[in-house]
Structure 1
Amino acid sequence: MLGMLQSIFRRNHTGPYPESLVRAAIEQAVDETDSCLRGVAGYRRKLRPVVIKALDQVMALVDGLEEPIRVDRAAFGQDSRLKLFFASAEHMTRVFEQDAILAALRSPGGGEPRSIYALLLMDYREQSTFGTASQGNILLKDVPQVAVDFSNHRLLDPTWEAEETLCLLRQRAYNHLLQIALNRIAMHRDKRAGLERRRTLLQAKARVSERATRGFSVSALSTPMDCSVLRKQADEIESELEKLGCDTKADRTHFKLVVDVLSRPEAHLWSEPLRLTVDPMGIKRSPDTPGAKTLTFTRLHNARGQSAVASLVKISTPF
């Protein structure tokens, strides 16, 4: 099943997805969220359109990445993007040399040089600072400026083949959507379990209180609980449980949660261009500033408010 599913993400077909591969993606969606969804009548037919929509989104997301940036010491001196990503050539070397997966992939000494492909992720922020600026022949000091900063560099899915890395990234994006659906199912289960525990406790308190009112000298020991209040609270919880659906409806509820996520993949994982006009020092400038360059990057976002700049890289080895 996994090998068949990977065929989708390898883009080794043209036109619509083969039906066998769509079915594999559907089955993975069920396996990774709730296998009981197979109990929903016609689950494959109902999941098919939303799974295809999710596949389209992850394909477009990865296919929208720019061509890989060549990474080596020589490239650092020539590529403005690398100079913006890293503080120095030594910093760049340190980032790649310290990556454990990359180290395991590198060719042994004396082997034929090869390139490793991966996705480089970085946190991005803008920082207010002060610097100098020229105005005609006058040099101004303490001018407010905005510096761009890339940090927390990490690599995803390094492999020897560009298409293999792209395949793994597409699979990763699809898995991310399924994880969101799984989290929602888990929250639904936790909420139901919590309500059931509260209902059981309130019902027990009500029974004890009713028996206590018939016991010996209750008023002398403590103020009895109001049974009507307890029953009202239990009824309110019962209403909430009915909204969640009874146990026999849980599969359908979970099914709706999966459909909701996969039918709106762009709301959970998306990208947008990040256009920066900067000088060689990484200070934001206007487009007409001498020496400034306008660079465009891909910025990934998820529904949790997290974001990262993403760039495919082609890492020369030995580095």
Structure 2
Amino acid sequence: MLFRSIFRQKNTGPYTKSLVEDATERAMEDTDPCLKGVSGYRKKLKPAVVKSLEHVTALVESLGEPLQMDGVGFSRDFRLKLLFPSAEHLSRVLRDDPNVKRLRAAKTAATGSIHALLVMDYEEKSTFGTESLGNIVTSNVPQVAANFRNHRLLDVTRDAQETLCLLRRRAYDQLLQIALNLITRQRDKRAGLERRHTLLQSKARVLERAKGGFVAATLSPPVNTAELGREINEIRNELAKLGCETKADQKHFNLLVEVLGTPQKHLWSDPLHLIVDSLGIKRNPGDADAKELTFSRISTSQGKNAVACLVRIPSE
């Protein structure tokens, strides 16, 4: 399977010829196979593919050490207490995951832990609480609570390296999805312009033919012929910018090269720093009851993001 052999290694390259070729073909098949009509596409795409392979490898390596995701871990690790409202909620996430359930139920000699990536949505909620200043307790104080929701597990396996391998492939596929969305948007724009152009040309023909009728005909709603001609010319100019089908394929190929060649602009990880108390309320640095925590937050150029943590789950 793509990436499995190379991504089991700790280093980030050099990448084998076969891996780069497989990654290139995957890029074409998962975006637009028609782009294979671009002359020399393999050679042109290779530097961008290598750049993306390096990027997704580094991104997954940045996730850090896994958390022990079970009742014992919840009782000992403040991070889990922040991520989950209760030990029961943590257990329910494990019970409800079909892959964890399958691996735990499998009749196999495999022992040890189950590995996965825990992904959550993060939000901050405004609330009110109490604060103490010496012997004075103040009520209804505006506060901000750190809240994690929509917990899910990705790439659940019995092998830590296998999970990391699958995560790298997932990150690469995420880049391809972003490229596909950009290409689809361009294709939809062209299709919309072509439909609009056809409609306006039909209107222009109707108006031209109406001049020779027994009675002057009009369209409903009425159409200003000068404005109609101006709009037709504007659409023609837009279509010219998009290019003919051959040129359009080149433009779409360039979009793919741009995404894979600058992956850090489209998929990245940055630290989410939190200073919170035991209830998950954000506090100021130096507050006696506050702890400072850092999580990885993965974001995309499409405005999506999620907090991600590697986890280790007991088999039983």
What is the TM-score when the length of structure 2 is the normalising length?
Answer: 0.91
* Partner Cα distance (1:224, 1:30) in 2: 47
The 8 Å contact of residues 127 and 147 in structure 1, kept in 2 or not, is answered as yes
Answering whether residue 129 of structure 2 is matched by residue 131 of structure 1, we say yes
Per-residue deviation, 1:14: 6.2
Which blocks of at least 5 consecutive residues in structure 2 are unaligned? none
The 8 Å contact of residues 178 and 302 in structure 2, kept in 1 or not, is answered as no
Percent identity reads 56
Change (3 A) 1:283 1:204: closer
Write out aligned runs for 1:7-26 (5 A).
Answer: 7-11=5-9, 15-26=13-24
Change (3 A) 1:201 1:89: same
Q: What number of residue pairs does the alignment pair up? A: 316
Answering whether residue 280 of structure 2 is matched by residue 282 of structure 1, we say yes
Secondary structure of residue in 2 paired with 1:152: strand
Per-residue deviation, 1:208: 2.2
Q: Partner residue of 1:102?
A: 100
The 8 Å contact of residues 300 and 309 in structure 1, kept in 2 or not, is answered as yes
Write out aligned runs for 1:17-96 (5 A).
Answer: 17-96=15-94
Change (3 A) 1:116 1:207: same
Q: Partner residue of 1:195?
A: 193
1:142-199 CA-to-partner distances (Å, cap 9, x unmatched) read: 3333221111111111111111111111111111111111111111111111211222
Question: Which moves more between the two structures, 293-302 or 230-239?
Answer: 230-239
Write out aligned runs for 1:135-174 (5 A).
Answer: 135-174=133-172
Change (3 A) 1:216 1:147: same
1:271-311 CA-to-partner distances (Å, cap 9, x unmatched) read: 11112222222222234333432111111111222221111
1:236-266 CA-to-partner distances (Å, cap 9, x unmatched) read: 2111110000122122111111112112211
Cα RMSD (Å): 2.5
The 8 Å contact of residues 129 and 141 in structure 2, kept in 1 or not, is answered as yes
Secondary structure of residue in 1 paired with 2:212: coil
* Partner Cα distance (2:62, 2:72) in 1: 27
The 8 Å contact of residues 209 and 224 in structure 1, kept in 2 or not, is answered as no
Secondary structure of residue in 2 paired with 1:276: strand
The 8 Å contact of residues 133 and 141 in structure 1, kept in 2 or not, is answered as yes
Answering whether residue 262 of structure 2 is matched by residue 272 of structure 1, we say no
What is the TM-score when the length of structure 1 is the normalising length?
Answer: 0.90
Which blocks of at least 5 consecutive residues in structure 1 are unaligned? none
The 8 Å contact of residues 107 and 113 in structure 1, kept in 2 or not, is answered as no
- Give the 4+ runs in structure 1 shifted more than 6 A: 109-112, 219-224
The 8 Å contact of residues 33 and 178 in structure 1, kept in 2 or not, is answered as yes
Q: Which amino acid aligns with 2:240?
A: E
Change (3 A) 1:197 1:79: same
* Partner Cα distance (1:238, 1:9) in 2: 48
Q: Partner residue of 1:207?
A: 205
Per-residue deviation, 1:97: 0.6
Per-residue deviation, 1:231: 3.4
